[in-house]
Amino acid sequence: MPASTPSPDSPVISVSAASIVVADWGTSSFRLWALGADSAIVAHTQKDCGMGQLQPADFENTLEAALQEMGAGPQLPVVICGMAGSAQGWVEAPYVDLPASTAALAAQAVRVKTAQRPVYIIPGICQSPEIAADVIRGEETLLLGLSLLETIDGLVCLPGTHSKWARVRGQVIEAFHTAMTGEVYALLSSSSTLSHFMNHPITDLSENAAFRSAVAEALAAPEKILQALFSVRAIPLLATDAAERDMPARLSGLLVGLEIAGQNPPRSSQVTLVANGHLADAYQSAFDVAGIDYHTFDAEALACAGLFEMARQIMPDVFSKPESEQI
């Protein structure tokens, strides 16, 4: 039975009601949620101490400090996804081959030796070089959380520094691809000849004409993307100051449009978008330009749902205990 939908907006009540703590430990951030036996969020916190800032010996103390701040008892178990399980993280959790399900990932979860509590790290998934070499750590939890809450048979888009596009059928991840859209934007914005024209903050992209025009341009001629990128420099040199203000949105639109063109989703299909905030606004606007139907889901809720279900499979005894024995 899949977990019920946990809402990030649920009222925060005493962490003593928690059965499990789940965490997404990425390269730059660390997010934790204490979940009740019904998967409802009873406490949550976010820290800036990502995997990239820590040595392996630092992880346990960092985790315990965050749990103590949340008020979690010393025996409350923890299930973690993300880069904490990479070769450079806390303890490596080797990749699981496709096709991947919650059962397959839970079966390969790695138990971490800790002084106090049970801690498990969920493995990532990989796609073989014979198909198209690729890897995921962290996003697999969102994809499986989505599959538990909705009937999915098609493409799922998870935008970000490394955007993921996955084909999900039922409760199984069948294939996926990564697009380095966010990282390429950051590199071009800070370390290229375009950086001089990236000084104006991007406003709301949901109705930004420069962004939408650039998306359409990239979709129409993705093979000309290198020429189009240089125009981000040329246009403000030959036009007015007003044109320069549009260049960050133009660069973003060109890259997002190229990403969508590379996936070539059938126009008759629906893409499931997993995103929040400005990323949701940008990709919804781009899908509108592309004429692609989409349905948007909250990423935090899906992460909790996926991690909760894997925790139930890893430690079924935890959820069969009376509440008084869970802390």
Q: What is the pLDDT of residues 72-112, one digit of tens each?
A: 888 899 999 999 999 999 999 999 999 999 999 999 999 99
CATH 3.30.420.300 domain position(s) in the chain: 15-149+306-321
Mark the ranges of the chain whose per-residue pLDDT is less than 70: 1-15, 267-268, 320-327
The answer to whether the CB of 177 falls within 8 A of the CB of 199 is no
The answer to whether the CB of 164 falls within 8 A of the CB of 136 is yes
Q: What is the pLDDT of residues 194-245, one digit of tens each?
A: 999 998 888 789 889 999 999 999 999 999 999 999 999 999 999 877 788 8
Q: What is the pLDDT of residue 250?
A: 96
Q: Give the separation between CA 170 and CA 76, rounded to whole angstroms.
A: 31
Half-sphere exposure for 275 (CA within 13 Å, toward CB): 25
CATH topology of domain 15-149+306-321: Nucleotidyltransferase; domain 5 (3.30.420)
CATH 3.30.420.310 domain position(s) in the chain: 179-299
The answer to whether the CB of 91 falls within 8 A of the CB of 57 is no
Task: Label residue 237 exposed, middle or buried (CB < 10 Å: 0-12, 13-18, 19+).
Answer: exposed
Q: Give the separation between CA 308 and CA 79, rounded to whole angstroms.
A: 8
Pick the CATH number of 179-299 from 3.30.2270.10, 3.40.1160.10, 3.30.420.310, 3.60.21.10: 3.30.420.310
The answer to whether the CB of 5 falls within 8 A of the CB of 305 is yes
**Helix axes of 277-290 and 209-220: crossing angle, nearest 10 degrees:** 50
Q: What is the pLDDT of residue 14?
A: 55
φ, ψ dihedrals at 168, nearest 5°: -120, 130
Q: What is the pTM of this model?
A: 0.88
